[in-house]
Amino acid sequence: MNTASVISQWEDPKFSDEEQFYTFDWADRLGEGETIVGTPEADGLGGITVLSHAIQGTISQLKLGGGTVGQRTGVHMLATTSTAQKVGVTVLLDIVPI
């Protein structure tokens, strides 16, 4: 398992004034038989607000709000695994006008 923080990108951009759901699959970041313990920490970057965050299996589902038009921003998440590893990811997101 790679415990270094990685950068990913959501394909769908976000309008600055909408609230939208995004998902992230942790499966590629986990070792054989390893699971996520609890809900990973999630911090919005550059004006993004994490309105809700839940995890089911290896899938994080986040509801995001905010952001500034024309910026690439995102969310940094940090998960604890069943083997007590800390696994981080920053997922980038483009904010677009309506």
Give the 3-state secondary structure of residue 58. coil
Q: What is the pLDDT of residue 1?
A: 47
Q: What is the pLDDT of residue 3?
A: 53
Spell out the domains of the chain, with CATH numbers in brackets. 6-96 (2.60.40)
Region label for 35, one of left (φ > 0), alpha (ψ between -120 and 50) or beta (otherwise): beta
Region label for 74, one of left (φ > 0), alpha (ψ between -120 and 50) or beta (otherwise): left
List per-residue pLDDT tens for the chain, 98 residues long: 445 578 899 999 999 999 999 999 999 999 999 999 999 999 999 999 999 999 999 999 999 999 999 999 999 999 999 999 999 999 999 999 98
Q: What is the pLDDT of residue 4?
A: 56
Q: How far apart are CA 8 and CA 31, in angstroms?
A: 19
pTM strictly above 0.85: yes
